[in-house]
Copies of this chain bind each other. A is one copy, B any other.
């Protein structure tokens, strides 16, 4: 049987993930060809830095800084964009599409903001844009939402979508160390970037949740509407209290579909630290690992677990996309599946339920001055707002000498009501610092 012609691959961005992609294409060429029937051939690599030793031998693969020429190269069928960021990456993707190339990217930030424009351009040109690596690294969650669970009305999608914060939270809990100490070590070990703000402030998780919300509910991309809160300000006291109450603290992206009394649909979408029952599967996802849960009306609860970042896990997702596109190239079936799971004209803006309207239990840490009456004042105001206290704990530990932490779990309460009560409590003279609120989710 005559050997089928290879599909040509061009990589733009030869950093960590780009290096991983080259490694996987090289060392797994045999297994890829046994599945495809033809090889994926790395044709060109582009980066501005031509000096750094990446520890891989590119052989006779052309390696230079000329992205224009890569995009126009007729030997390149699929362009992999791995430079990240917004403007340049967007231009390169749009120019690749214009040149009739399929595109694979891991750029969730770009897609969360400009996905519509990019997907529209690809559809008009008849090429694919694949982005499995952009959410939860190596876990094939997008493919599962888009195809495996396509028979379902998706009811909720939530999970641990950022490995850096999960590493920091796991370490803080295990060691009892302060946030800054753990973040510094995470940077030294390569789990956190030099500027870790995007991760620590929940922005990265919100980018990923944006894509999941679109694919789960057929909602227009809604990044700006997602209420986002990061993990700064958590202290060892919070982890100890969570454990005492039977929970662990995880930074979750959470999205749920709601149907109002007269049938109108709205969506809840938020990123914040969350107390979840310590026996739940999600609570036991530790270190830099990710896990995404999907509930569908037919399938019920599902969970997808794996490495959310890293050179090779991310490359696994990128090369998986290459394999899929290569199949479609050969069968003339590009555009077989809509990138956001729903056909483009079926994506529609959806009202996002304001955080204020969400009802749930809460964990509260008050920094109360160590004097008579403080607890009575706090609980009095909560009572005035009809907020039930399920448990309270005041250990005397973790304070700063003048103040002690008072730790509470409330009954279910509307967020706006709780916020009003907390504002009132802030005005008391009994507190030495702002109150920390962490939402509790039982159902996850």
Q: Does A244 contact B (CB under 8 A)?
A: no
Contact between A148 and B140, CB atoms less than 8 A apart: yes
Contact between A297 and B148, CB atoms less than 8 A apart: no
Q: Does A279 contact B (CB under 8 A)?
A: yes
Q: Does A165 contact B (CB under 8 A)?
A: no
Among the listed B150, B281, B298, B315, which residue makes an inter-chain contact with A305, where contact means beta carbons less than 8 Å apart?
B281
Chain B residues within an 8 Å CB radius of A333: 328, 331-333, 336
A345-376: CB near B (< 8 Å → 1, else 0) gives 01000000000000000000000000000000
Rounded to whole angstroms, the CA-CA distance of A323 and B148 in the bound complex is: 9
Contact between A305 and B305, CB atoms less than 8 A apart: yes
Chain B residues within an 8 Å CB radius of A324: 147, 150
A27-35, A380-388, A392-400 - the one binding chain B: A27-35
Among the listed B28, B332, B338, which residue makes an inter-chain contact with A153, where contact means beta carbons less than 8 Å apart?
B28
Contact between A313 and B298, CB atoms less than 8 A apart: yes
What does DSSP make chain A's interface, helix, strand, loop or mixed? mixed
Contact between B316 and A327, CB atoms less than 8 A apart: no
Q: Does A143 contact B (CB under 8 A)?
A: yes
Contact between A298 and B319, CB atoms less than 8 A apart: yes
Q: Residues of A at under 8 Å CB distance from B? A: 20, 24, 27-28, 31-32, 34-37, 132, 138-140, 143-144, 147-153, 218, 279, 281, 284-285, 291, 296-307, 310, 312-313, 315-320, 322-324, 327-328, 331-333, 336-338, 341-343, 346
Question: Would you give 16 A-B contacts (Cβ < 8 Å), ordered by A?
Answer: A28-B152, A28-B297, A31-B152, A31-B218, A147-B324, A281-B281, A281-B285, A291-B303, A296-B316, A298-B316, A300-B306, A300-B307, A300-B312, A303-B305, A331-B333, A331-B336
